[in-house]
Amino acid sequence: MKNILITGGAGFIGSNFIKHMLATYDYKIVNLDLLTYAGKLNNLNNLDNKHNYKFIQGNICDRKLVEKIFLDNKINTLINFAAESHVDRSIEDPEIFLKTNVLGTQILLDTAKKFWKINTHDKHCNKYKDKVKFIQISTDEVYGTLGSSGYFTETTPLAPNSPYSASKASADLFVRAYNETFALPINITRCSNNYGPHQYPEKLIPLMINNCLNDLPLPIYGDGQQIRDWLHVYDHCTAIDCVLHYAPSGQVYNIGGNNEITNIKLVKTIIHQLGKSESLIKYVNDRPGHDRRYAIDNSKITTQLNWIPKYTFNQGLKETIDWYSLHT
């Protein structure tokens, strides 16, 4: 029986993952979320009556609370979605990103090591290690930026360019270190840009959809030629599911949707699907340290774990636009 602690489970990706897991398995799920501006319990409507689901409001930086959750619920799996994740906010206030993304992750690692009785590489001291796992949910932004060709692989050096991506890269290195030093069973996943229903509207796709629906300006950084690879949140969830069940300890997996598109082309696609005018586009000053291109090579997870993304970008974007059209 897996007793899974999911941190940040009221956020966009975490809530979708919880719903996927509860629909697929009979595992016990404990959701720890601080409910900051981007965490919404209505993302998890109708789950309170589930016998195997529990919500706890709290901070991953609260060591006593995290230890109590481990003790009370016999946690043997931890999947860490909890993070401050908006680049613009990290430029305005880097400190909160350091506290949540780095210090919070270290507290989770330390608690897992303590309760799973993992202290050395001596196999005789690690009697629980084959029954436990810590998964860190990270981002392709830790790799920095690409030129016009090439892809991020799991061996691409980390070169973060924003306080947000620097905090996530730092957390990844702590996770790696706990595996190397203490033999804590871990995996790290690094995904491309997620999209889909229920995403907080500060992110590019829901922001542009909502603004279009309300005939508001569509702010585009710089020339709009920045390239991103887009991954439907459902596909991301099934990839994490594969990592949880099949990935060997210590491995890193890139998760991408094979959907590269420039920001300006994406925005124009949304405009045309909603029957609006391109006159809504408003070019604004580019943000500092804005990465030019992200693109993921996901061949490791597709070949080793047999994961394949289900959604084409056109299909996923249309469904996402339809959902926001009904819920805005």
Annotated catalytic residues are 140-141, 164
Sequence-ordered alpha helix ranges (H) in the chain: 12-24, 63-73, 87-92, 94-97, 104-115, 163-182, 204-213, 233-246, 263-273, 299-304, 313-327
Answer for the pair 1, 38: CB distance below 8 angstroms, yes or no: no
- Residue 298 and residue 46: Cα distance in Å, rounded? 34
For the chain, first and last CA: distance in Å? 40
Strands 227-232 vs 260-262: parallel, antiparallel or unpaired: antiparallel
Q: What is the DSSP string of 265-314?
A: HHHHHHHHHTT--GGGEEEEPPPTT---B--B--HHHHHHS-------HH
